[in-house]
Structure 1
């Protein structure tokens, strides 16, 4: 991996592990940013929407896509600037991040990687 590429851009496993559920008010048709065609309302859950692909197993969010313009093997959110609150709030190098990387047999992030990229992960 290039030292100039954020570890998240060669991983993407959070998008293949977690159900992404959020308020319907985050959908574009309701004044939010998440494109309507990428999510569906959750039956019986009131005002909740869920990203397509995260409602079943194996999980794979429909917004997860290859990003060849960033480098070979790069993967990430195709709607990064429009992503929902749960995705914005998922912390880089958190327990959930480390646990999911281990589940997918990816190496643990080094202390140096975490320190280097932690600040940019909050942007």
Structure 2
């Protein structure tokens, strides 16, 4: 069993509850990409959106668990580019976390610990 702290994104999901996720049709499995077609719908021609992210309240169809409690993306390895490009600890991340009553992520999370003298 590891004593390593859980990565903040594996217990958060605030961004998945906050933002619309749109991406190119070419990211769909049917077009050679990795996003399952069943989890998205066409917006217009070349643009697709993750189900659940174009309505309020927002909740991405790929999310499992509850916001702030072991929320995990069920397609993490094949998530859309909009999700891959989202930066943990960014202003938008802090905004999403605040909207769900979560504190900002410590900017030093995951930094190497100082070596003892």
So what's the TM-score if we normalise by structure 2? Answer: 0.84
* Structure ranking higher on relative contact order (CA contacts 8 Å, 6+ apart): 2
Measure, in 1, the Cα distance between the counterparts of 2:64 and 2:19.
16
* Structure ranking higher in strand proportion: 2
Alignment match, 1:54: 53
- Give the drift of 1:3: 5.4
* Structure ranking higher in helix proportion: 1
Unaligned runs of 5+ in 2: 112-117
Greater radius of gyration (CA): 2
1:28-49 deviations in Å (ceiling 9; x for gaps): 001110000000111xx32110
- Give the drift of 1:110: 2.2
Alignment match, 1:28: 29
> Which of 102, 105, 110 pairs up with 1:109?
105
Residue 86 in 1 paired to residue 87 in 2?
no
1:45-71 deviations in Å (ceiling 9; x for gaps): 32110000011100000000139xxxx
Aligned length: 107
1:71-114 deviations in Å (ceiling 9; x for gaps): xx42110000110000000001001001111111111222332x
Unaligned runs of 5+ in 1: 68-72, 118-123
Measure, in 2, the Cα distance between the counterparts of 1:47 and 1:108.
35
1:34-45 paired onto structure 2 within 5 Å: 34-42=35-43, 45=44
So what's the TM-score if we normalise by structure 1? Answer: 0.80
